[in-house]
């Protein structure tokens, strides 16, 4: 699929066929996510591929807007490693690019899946602390691993409507010269 076409046609898919996704296809999708840009090129991520239907059904109790995840072929939990991310934790400076890096990887994952005819939906975990904690506990993750996003994957069983109001030229601000005052 051509990149521009993929960017314009990807939509959240929440209904899936009862059909498994071959492991090499999932690997290729995650490979694409791993080519995403990251702050200082730290690549501070881990990807959990979960095919456990019981857990997938349980997810809605952890994150309430994931009820459809139970019907997916699998769920990818995109995680960040806080120890690997580009960050500063000093008295006068506290910041981390971890969520930014994970968000970009998640978008790449959605697009790579779409390019392979697979539907997905970005479901947020971080920065909802309760969800992050619940996932970390349930999946027995070490403290440095921050569950960032929950991404159900599956062959689409719906064709979501393409929006016709996304492009808003008025949100583009052309600045020829920046004034000094
Ligand atoms: C940070 C983030 C969190 C989201 N969380 C959820 C979610 O929990 N459940 C859900 O069904 N969709 C979730 N979405 C998907 C949005 O609802 C969806 O992207 C938006 O409605 C636009 O539709 P589109 O993806 O088809 O373009 C989330 C999207 C983002 C970017």
The full set of domain ranges for the chain reads 3-171
Ligand 1 atom 29, closest CA = 122
Ligand 1 atom 30, closest CA = 122
Domain 3-171 fold is: NADH Oxidase (3.40.109)
- Å from CA of 178 to ligand 1 middle: 35
Q: Give tens-digit pLDDT for 36-68.
A: 999 999 999 999 999 999 999 999 999 999 999
Per-residue pLDDT at 1: 86
Per-residue pLDDT at 26: 98
Which residues of the chain are under the pLDDT cut of 50? none
CB atoms within 10 A of CB 30: 19
Q: Is 13 in the pocket of ligand 1 (CB under 6 A)?
A: no
- Å from CA of 96 to ligand 1 middle: 23
Per-residue pLDDT at 181: 80
Per-residue pLDDT at 102: 98
């Amino acid at each position: 699929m051509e990149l521009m076409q993929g960017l314009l046609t990807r939509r959240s898919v929440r209904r899936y066929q009862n059909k498994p996704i071959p492991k090499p296809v999932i690997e290729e999708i995650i490979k694409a996510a791993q080519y995403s840009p990251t702050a200082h090129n730290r690549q501070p991520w881990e990807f959990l591929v979960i095919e456990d239907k019981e857990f997938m059904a349980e997810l809605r109790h952890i994150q309430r807007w994931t009820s459809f995840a139970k019907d997916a072929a699998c769920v990818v939990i995109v995680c960040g490693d806080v120890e690997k991310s580009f960050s500063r934790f000093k008295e006068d400076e506290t910041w981390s690019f971890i969520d930014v890096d994970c968000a970009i990887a998640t978008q790449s994952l959605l697009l790579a899946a779409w390019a392979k005819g697979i539907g997905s939906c970005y479901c947020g975990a971080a920065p909802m602390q309760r969800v992050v904690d619940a996932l970390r506990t349930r999946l027995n993750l070490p403290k440095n691993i921050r569950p960032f996003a929950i991404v159900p994957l599956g062959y689409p069983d719906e064709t979501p409507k393409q929006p016709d109001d996304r492009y808003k030229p008025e949100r583009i601000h052309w600045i020829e010269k920046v004034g000094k005052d």
